[in-house]
Structures are given as C-alpha cells and as structure tokens.
C-alpha cells in the first residue's frame, strides 16, 4: 500500500512503535553489574535493526534507588551508576544518527525523600518549600488524615516527627508526593522538563501522571465492589489498594490545566508526551488527557498488562478505549509487557510450556491494534518470566507481598546477548539480578542468524508493518467470531485490512462470507490460508495462527 501521505514528521508518534529499555538490565559497559548509558549506546544497532521508531529509556536520574530510579533526587543529573551527562549526550546523538527518537521517563508526581526539595519541606512548617509536598495533620486519635492506601501496600500516609504531620506517598514511604496545588511546584517541574527539552530529547513518558493531584478536601475513598476488585483494579486482588475506589487520591480534574501548560511547553520544542494512566476506569481519563492538541499526545494504561487474555477481555479493552477516544480525537498506546508486570510469554501462557508460535501471535496482535505500540526489551526474543529466589530479590514490592506475589524482578533480569559468555554477555562483573539460565539459549547471538527465530520474526514483522499505513492510523472495528478467535478490521478511506487471530492451541476453520486476499509479505502467512470458494469458502487457522488480508473487491485487488 506504500507510505501514508497523511503522516507528517511532526506526528511521527501516531502509530509509532516504541522500544522500552530498562537501563539497569540492558547492557553494562564498566563491569559493575548494572546496565548504563554507554552500554545502551553500544547496543543501539540491535534496536535499530528491529525497525522501531523510538526508544523509551526508563529513569537514569540521580536516585537512592529505593524504587530503582523512580525515586528521583535530582532531575537534572545522571546517576553515577548510569554514567554522566556527556554519556547521555553521546547516547542521544547515536540514536538520532540511527534515525531513532528518544523518549525519557519523567516522574513528576513524586520525588525521593532525599531530594533537596523534600529535605527543606520537612524541616519546618514555615520554610519556603513547606507546601511543596502533601502534608496534613493527624486525626484527633493520631491516625492518618484519610484512608488512602499506597500502591505498595499499607497507608499512603507517613508520620514525620519533625513537622509532627503526615506526608502523602502513593508508592513507597521514600517517595513523597509533590503538592500540585502549589503553583511554585508546577513551575519548578516545568523547569525540569525544559532542561531535557533543551538537551534535545524527542519526548517524555510521564510516569503515574494521573497521580499528580489529590483531593484538596482530603475526602476518604469509598470501598470498591467485589467485582471491581477482581476485574478492574490496577493491582493484584490481594493488595488492599484494590479494595478502594480511588476517587480522591488520583485522577483529579485539576490535572487537566497542568497538562495544558505542559503541552504548551513541549510544543515549543516539538517534543511528544506519552502518559501512563493507572486508573480503574482508564479510558475516559486517557481520552481527557489526550484531547487533540490540548494535553498529552498519547497515553497508555494497564488494560493489556493483566493476566486475562481472553478474546472477551481483549475486545472489551480495545473497544472501550476506542469509543472513549473518538469524541476527543485522542490517541492511545498499547503494551503487553513492561518493567512492572510478568513477561507476556509467561503471563499469557495459561501455565503452559514456552511456545514461539504464541509469542509471535501476541506481537502480531499488539502491532495490529489501533494506536501506537510499546515493546519491552526482550519481547523480540520471546523471553519468559525469570525466576528470582527470595535471597536475590531486589524489588521492595515483591519483598512486601512474597510469596503470593514475587515482585517485578522476574521481568527485569539482564538481557542475554551471548549464549556462551559469562552472564550472557551482559556484564563482566556480578549482575545486579542473576541472568536467568533458560534465557541463555534465547540470546541475541543465537537468534540473530536463525531465520526461524523469534528475533528474525520480530524484525520481519516490524519492517512489514512500516509498509502498512492502515496498521498505523486506520480505524478499528471488531467482527463477531467464536472463541478463541479475535477478528477485526482496520479501515481508512476506501481501504480495508482484516486481522484474524486464533488465540487457541487447536486449529480453527472459519466460514468466510466474502473473499479475502492474503496480504503479501507478512511473516505469518504460513499459519493461515483460504480454501474453497463461494459459500464454501473457509479460512483455516493453525494453532496460534494469524491472517492478514483484504476483501477481494477492494480497490487495487482483483
């Protein structure tokens, strides 16, 4: 179909594929066991070869690493374990030379408790930054001011003996929430964003961006229904955070005005904003946040990062977002894995053995949805979730909920570059998390020259998608199909493309009312085929088979 003439360079993000790098685990250049910026730079050829548009790099700022960089103590400094600002500049220059955009992670909703702002804020009730964080008096009986809970378990309030007040922390106690009701805080944070704009980044992924305001009246959250605990919560059902409706501790309407100020700043530099929206009813929030030209450019949620991968769940989530975005002209971004959840190869396996056919299907499905796509490092290799013993566990979230929940370390173990090298070629030292033994046969050097590997498939699929503008920007409409088949159409103007997925481990035969012509060149052609003609025309889908095709009577087809 050729390239889309409608897609301008300023809207490169629309339908783009973004590759997420978790710096600690990508590549270590100096042998200290922790991945770093020079390590990323040294391995950028691998990412460029995939055919992605941009790289999202998780936090590399100065931090005490209580939450591994998501607790920032200096927004303008590179933490020494990751390198220097000069290393950052070299990484950015190399990305641009390879035709890749750089999106950096910005954590604006909270800081580290070691940030200079918080150190000053907690020193007294009348210092210049006394109101920069969310402070509140105790109740008469000494208990916290509200019933709000931390995502990581327990109360979201921590007593501070110096101020004799509680401060709010939506995550760890070492991650105090900034007070966005304070105009000085908003201006200071815009200044931190401007610093990186001036340095030449192409965009930002704004972490937990719907946590940026709290209810100024400090009202208690009501309890959640039992159904919502199981179906819509952004955390596990055994975490008490799931037991509330989070009406007052996040997703406040005041955030819209701040996002508009943020957008005005970014537009001055041509930088893009991708927002993480962790909300139990994310689609309407995402629609507000990405209203065309006003706030964020695009946003994503946790809706496909759950254990549920049924056709009913997938269709419901995609349609819910599509319907929410339609009135606002907003744009979504999909991910099936990231640094916070078990890897999709394991999470959606149904407890079964590893299966490359299934891994290929999930990647093809992700890249066929309407919206942009985020691919987490290692998905291109089909890496399963790693097992990390408790004695080597680093994640405080996992330690708090062990053994029912083993934390996020299983998706954060180092990338295997060389199957036969110590620690998979990730480091010459002792890695911060162990390299998982079953990952070694899937190392990049083992897969690079194997035309049947997951890596070869990932490259072929990503490059093929670049030739299909309907998959980047076309509308989406689902077609009813029996389980375990997911069937939808992408449409733009008079062009149509149908994508059909067999999510099951048994072959499926589907009757076809209209003739479908397989699209040429896509790497999954051998997993499905049309047989027969007229009323007896059938589509045969192999286990985990995928079919991309166009109606035979479409313009340009016979």
Q: What is the full DSSP assignment across 5-38? A: TT--GGGTTTT-EEEEE-GGGT--SSSSSS--HH
Query: 410: burial class by Cβ within 10 Å (0-12, 13-18, 19+)?
Result: buried
506 catalytic? Reply is no
**Domains with residue ranges and CATH for the chain:** 9-110+183-465 (3.20.20.80), 474-551 (2.60.40.1180)
Maximum Cα–Cα distance for the chain, whole Å? 81
Question: For residue range 27-62, what is the model confidence (pLDDT) as tens digits?
Answer: 999 999 999 999 999 999 999 999 999 999 999 999
Calpha distance 394→397 (Å, rounded): 9
Q: 364 in helix, strand or coil?
A: helix
CA angle 82, 88, 93 (to 5 degrees): 145
User: What phi and psi, each to the nearest 5 degrees, are found at residue 56?
Assistant: -100, 120
Q: Would you state the pLDDT for residue 448?
A: 96
What are the tokens at 36?
């770093």
Q: In sequence order, which residues have a C-beta less than 8 Å from that of residue 391 and are 6 or more positions away? A: none
Q: Which of 207, 291, 322, 359 is catalytic?
A: 207
Q: Would you state the pLDDT for residue 421?
A: 98
Q: Would you state the pLDDT for residue 409?
A: 95
User: What phi and psi, each to the nearest 5 degrees, are found at residue 133?
Assistant: -120, 170
Cβ–Cβ < 8 Å for 539, 547: yes
- Residue whose pair of structure tokens reads 């009577």 in the numeric block: 553
Q: Which of 67, 105, 249, 276 is catalytic?
A: 276
pTM attached to this predicted model: 0.95
What are the tokens at 284?
């309407």
User: What phi and psi, each to the nearest 5 degrees, are found at residue 42?
Assistant: -65, -20
Ranges in the chain, pLDDT < 50:
1-8, 555-558
Picking from 533, 517, 536, 514, the residue whose alpha carbon sits closest to that of residue 525 is 517
User: What phi and psi, each to the nearest 5 degrees, are found at residue 423?
Assistant: 55, 30
DSSP 406-460: --SGGGTSPP---TTSGGGGS-SS--SSPPPGGGGGG-HHHHHT-TTSHHHHHHH
Q: In sequence order, which residues have a C-beta less than 8 Å from that of residue 466 and are 6 or more positions away? A: 51
Q: Would you state the pLDDT for residue 37?
A: 99
126 catalytic? Reply is no
Picking from 39, 220, 241, 192, the residue whose alpha carbon sits closest to that of residue 136 is 220
């Amino acid at each position: 179909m050729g390239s889309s003439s409608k897609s301008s360079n300023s809207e490169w993000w629309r339908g783009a594929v973004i590759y997420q790098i978790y710096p600690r685990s990508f590549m270590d250049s100096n042998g200290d066991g922790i991945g770093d910026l020079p390590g990323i730079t040294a391995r950028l050829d691998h990412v460029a070869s995939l055919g992605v548009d941009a790289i999202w790099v998780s936090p590399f700022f100065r931090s005490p690493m209580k939450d591994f960089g998501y607790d920032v103590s200096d927004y303008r400094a590179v933490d020494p374990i990751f390198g220097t600002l000069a290393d950052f500049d070299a990484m950015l220059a190399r990305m641009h030379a390879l035709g890749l955009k750089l999106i950096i992670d910005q954590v604006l909703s909270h800081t580290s408790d070691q940030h200079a702002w918080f150190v000053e804020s907690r020193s007294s009730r009348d210092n210049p930054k006394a109101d920069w964080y969310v402070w509140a008096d105790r109740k008469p009986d000494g208990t916290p001011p509200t019933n709000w809970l931390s995502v990581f378990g327990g109360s979201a309030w921590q007593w501070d003996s110096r101020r004799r007040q509680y401060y709010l922390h939506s995550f760890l106690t070492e991650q105090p929430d900034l007070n966005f009701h304070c105009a000085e805080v908003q201006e200071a944070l815009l200044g931190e964003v401007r610093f990186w704009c001036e340095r030449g980044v192409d965009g930002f992924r704004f972490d937990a961006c719907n946590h940026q305001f709290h209810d100024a009246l400090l009202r208690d959250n009501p309890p959640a229904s039992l159904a919502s605990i199981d179906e819509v919560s952004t955390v596990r059902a055994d975490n008490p955070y799931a037991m509330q409706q989070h009406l007052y501790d996040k997703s406040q309407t005041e955030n819209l005005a701040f996002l508009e100020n943020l957008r005005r700043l970014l537009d001055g530099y041509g930088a893009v904003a991708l927002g993480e929206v962790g909300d139990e009813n994310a689609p309407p929030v995402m629609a507000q946040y990405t209203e065309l030209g006003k706030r964020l450019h695009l946003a994503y949620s946790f809706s496909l990062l759950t254990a549920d991968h049924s056709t009913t769940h997938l269709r419901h989530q995609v349609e819910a977002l599509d319907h929410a975005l339609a009135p606002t002209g907003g744009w979504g971004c999909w991910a099936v894995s990231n640094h916070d959840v078990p890897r999709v190869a394991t999470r959606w396996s149904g407890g079964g053995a590893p299966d490359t056919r299934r891994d290929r299907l999930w990647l093809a499905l992700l890249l066929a949805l309407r919206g942009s796509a985020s691919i987490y490092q290692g998905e291109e290799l089909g890496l399963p979730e790693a097992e990390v013993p408790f004695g080597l566990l680093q994640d405080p979230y996992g330690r708090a909920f062990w053994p029912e929940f083993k934390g996020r370390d299983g998706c954060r173990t180092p990338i295997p570059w060389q199957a036969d090298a110590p620690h998979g070629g990730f480091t010459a030292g002792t890695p911060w998390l162990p390299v998982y033994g079953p990952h070694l046969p899937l190392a990049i050097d083992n897969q690079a020259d194997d035309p049947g590997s997951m890596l070869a498939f990932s490259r072929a699929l990503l490059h093929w998608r670049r030739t299909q503008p309907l998959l980047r920007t076309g509308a989406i409409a689902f077609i009813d199909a029996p389980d375990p088949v997911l069937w939808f159409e992408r449409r733009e103007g008079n062009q149509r493309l149908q994508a059909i997925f067999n999510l099951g481990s048994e072959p499926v035969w589907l009757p076809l009312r209209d003739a479908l012509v397989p699209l040429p060149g896509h790497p999954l052609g051998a997993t499905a085929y049309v047989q027969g003609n007229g009323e007896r025309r059938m589509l045969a889908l192999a286990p985990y088979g995928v079919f991309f095709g166009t109606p035979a009577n479409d313009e340009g087809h016979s």
